[in-house]
Amino acid sequence: MKAAVFREPHKPLTIEDVEIDNPKSHEVLVRTAAVGVCHSDLHYIDGFYPTPVPAVLGHESAGIVEKVGSEVTYVKPGDHVITCLSVFCGHCEFCTTGRPYSCGNPETARSDEEPSRLMQNGAEMHQFYDLSSLAEQMLIHEHALVKIREDMPLDRAALIGCAVTTGFGAVINTASIEVGSTVCVIGCGGVGLSAVNGAAIAGAGRIIAVDINGTKLNIAKHFGATDVVDASQCDPVEAVKELTGGGVEYSFEALGLKKTSEQAFQMLRRSGVATIIGMVPVGEMLEIHGADLLGDKRLQGSDMGSNRFRVDMPRYVDFYLNGKLKLDDMISRRIALEDINEAFDEMKRGEIARSVVVFE
């Protein structure tokens, strides 16, 4: 099969032939239909996060089941599925206390004694996030996917695999915003727009979108933002405080930058909660004023929107098909696998919300 291979940081991905194994007992072979180009992959390409190489990148995907292992009963060939990097074992402390997104049980991956799921010329090809979606096929554990209704377009379903689950989930699961609350979202890429859309569906009274790109801010209005702030023209913290008379109850940072993460905390009102969704580079330290904590302000992280993806994702599909989730407008363009490096370059320049790789 063709796959986008990552060999070293700061170098383009290469399209290569990679061998994929047959599914073992609890594994599923999926024909990839679409993959969203996500900023998380770019962090690894840029060297901000380490990962074993060579590896096939990609994790925001949807497809159709081709084969299943002998013990798989949840899906069958022909089923439409969305993948998720929050692979869960189902019986560890985190899974049994309602936090499957924190499961770190390695039993969902193959052991060192077993052949690798992906190979090339007899050597191991590492699997990224237990998925490796930037390929024509995926071989994954059955607990890395969710079955969805077949009337859901798979190119839009792919976005639910990460951007929507991460952004929307941070709003309703991690922060649990209240109806009528004031919200600010910093960064209007795929994750940020999902947070804006999620806040609107959850009933936020005021939603302020912050970005430096005017086009993205206009899209944010369509997704539910009541106000927008162009951070290239002003101090976004002061602008948000002025708009709200002192600060927001909930802020969400969707860029993964030190400066904007600190701004998310600085723009809170008393008893406000700042949720950092973006992947701040390894080694970066966030600084806040300790005295602000006396005002009951909180700074927290969010792991993939604190998801229970087999419950959450079918609901997001229903939201889309009912016209509430604006996935059509999140896709800036559809591309072939061979155009993946150009898509990452566009993402670096901040030009687009989301590109989606579509397979024939």
Indicate which residues carry an active-site annotation: 38, 40, 43, 59, 162
Report angle CA 95, 97, 100 to the nearest 5 degrees: 30
Distances (CA, A) of 274 to 136, 228, 293: 39, 18, 12
**Phi, psi (rounded to 5 degrees) for 185:** -120, 120
Q: What share of the chain is helix, strand, coil (3-state, %, to 5)?
A: 30, 25, 40
Angle in degrees, CA 162, 53, 120, rounded to 5: 100
121 burial type by CB count under 10 A (0-12 exposed, 13-18 middle, 19+ buried): exposed
Asked if 26 and 140 count as a contact pair (C-beta separation under 8 A), the reply is no
Distant-in-sequence, close-in-space partners of 51: CB < 8 Å, separation ≥ 6: 6, 44, 126, 128
Distance from C-alpha of 246 to C-alpha of 351, rounded to nearest angstrom: 32
Looking at residue 132, its amino acid is S
